Each structure stands twice: as C-alpha cells, then as structure tokens.
C-alpha cells in the first residue's frame, strides 16, 4: 500500500538528507568515528541521488523512482544495522536505528511513479542513457 506521493517523498528526501548530515552534532554523537561519518555520507548521498531522480523535485531526472526507492531502502538498512555491524552500539544506536527505519518505511510506502504528468528526464539525457 503505497500512499506517499512522490512530491511529498521528495520533500522528505531533502529534509532527511540534511538532518542525517547534521544529526551527529545535533544529537551529541559526533565523536569522529564511523558513528559520526556514516550518517553524514548517507545524508549527502541522499541529497545527490534525490537531485538526480525522475520526480517532481529532481533537477537532473535520470534515476527512475523505483531505483531511488531501492537506494533509500538500502541506505536505511545499512544505517539501521550500522551500530552492530561496525561495533559502536555501546556508544550510540538509537538515532541510527530510528532514522534507518524511517528511510525503509518511506521507501516502502512511496508511490513508484511521479504524480504529475510529463515528469521525465530531458530528451538529451534520455538519448545518452539509451546508448
């Protein structure tokens, strides 16, 4: 049951990307290790692939929405499991788990097609991708 429209998902993408990048300092776990830099890198990556997604808030619309949602789910899974995968769960785990589960949930509940007619990659980019 996918009820989140892609334009709402886009707003969530940019907000979550910025929040992930700021979270270590906002939430007090900026210790300089992977617990700090993983959310920063994943947040920055989310901003970049959101800019490249074929939806209402994309700037260079080359990534299909289902691929974007797969990236969100993968990123969320890595973030949610990271305290135990990388061994920092004794220091901090709640923000990573919560933000990761939110990403997975948003990916699972978002529609796979942009709601606005005509939202496609520009013709020149489509031509390059089809080669």
Tens digit of pLDDT for each residue in 66-118? Answer: 999 999 999 999 999 999 999 999 999 999 999 999 999 999 999 999 976 44
What is residue 92's three-state secondary structure?
coil
For the residues 37-62, what does the mean pLDDT come to?
97
Dist. CA 16–CA 44, nearest whole Å: 10
pLDDT-above-90 percentage for the chain: 86
For the residues 22-39, what does the mean pLDDT come to?
98
Using a 10 angstrom Cβ sphere, with 0-12 exposed, 13-18 middle and 19 or more buried, the burial of residue 51 is: middle
Q: Is the pLDDT of residue 38 over 50?
A: yes
Dist. CA 15–CA 20, nearest whole Å: 9
């Amino acid at each position: 049951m996918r009820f989140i429209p892609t334009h709402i998902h886009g707003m969530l993408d940019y907000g979550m990307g910025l929040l992930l990048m700021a979270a270590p300092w906002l939430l007090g776990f900026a210790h300089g290790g992977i617990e700090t830099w993983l959310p920063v890198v994943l947040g920055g990556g989310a901003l970049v692939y959101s800019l490249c997604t074929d939806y209402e808030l994309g700037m260079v619309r080359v990534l299909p929405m289902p691929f974007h949602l797969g990236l969100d789910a993968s990123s969320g899974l890595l973030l949610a499991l990271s305290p135990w995968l990388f061994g920092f769960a004794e220091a901090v785990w709640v923000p990573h788990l919560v933000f990761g589960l939110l990403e997975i949930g948003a990916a699972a509940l978002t529609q796979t097609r942009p709601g606005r007619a005509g939202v496609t990659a520009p013709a020149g980019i489509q031509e390059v991708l089809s080669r």
